[in-house]
Amino acid sequence: MQTPHRITVAITAAALAVALFAGGASAQGGSKPVIQDAQGFRAPINGKGGIENPYVSCTNYRVEPRVRWVLKNTATGYTRTYRWKGALPGVYFPRVKVGTYRSTTTAWCRTTKATRTQTVRVTEKTLRTTISRAEFRRIKRGMSRDRVRHIVGYPGLDAGSYAGETTRNYDMMAFWRWASITYRDGRVVRKAWDVDHD
């Protein structure tokens, strides 16, 4: 039969072991890196496109990730490495030539590490898949989306919906700029020229 002292020691030891295990689990696996996609953006004719660094966060929002991002042109072998700390999107946005790139992102949340590799393609814009100022001027309030597509030559990109309205972005030939057209019930209600990233 164990004495009260031995029982107390055993309980204390067990509690300490649980606390150490929990603390270790919290430090080791309590916060894991979450790595999103790197985003490629098309290049104007005879110009450069761009690649936006992947957004990286930790599952525990109180932990700031440490990140290493390696971007390699698979045709030329040219490689560039970027490093940052914190969950801020758009930390780096290198301008790059048209081509295929391998994006390798390694992130640490405390001592927990994750790596993600993906292929990012930067293509060249065409006149058919961009909106011109003349095309933009032809678009009038009340026009159907099909009519806008006929004028511009392509359907644009979905930019989201809110309160019964849907907005589509139409890429311009300049880098990182587009026109924005908002529809309600499939008809134009608003348009904006020369929208760019903030």
Q: Does 112 share its domain with 137? A: no
16 is a domain residue:
no
Q: Does 184 share its domain with 108? A: no
Q: Does 139 share its domain with 103? A: no
The reported pTM is: 0.76
159-172 tens-digit pLDDT? 999 999 999 999 99
Task: Among 92, 122, 152, give the residue marking a domain's end.
Answer: 122
Q: For the chain, what is the domain count? A: 2
Q: Does 98 share its domain with 148? A: no
**47 pLDDT tier (thresholds 50, 70, 90):** very high
Q: Does 62 share its domain with 106? A: yes
CB atoms < 10 A from the CB of 51, how many? 21
Average pLDDT over the chain reads 87
Domain hosting residue 165, numbered range = 127-196
Q: Does 133 share its domain with 166? A: yes
**2 pLDDT tier (thresholds 50, 70, 90):** very low
Taking the C-alpha atoms of residue 120 and residue 143, their distance in angstroms, rounded to an integer, is 36
Q: Which residues pair with 102 in a beta bridge?
A: 72, 119
Q: Does 115 share its domain with 44? A: yes
Q: Does 114 share its domain with 158? A: no
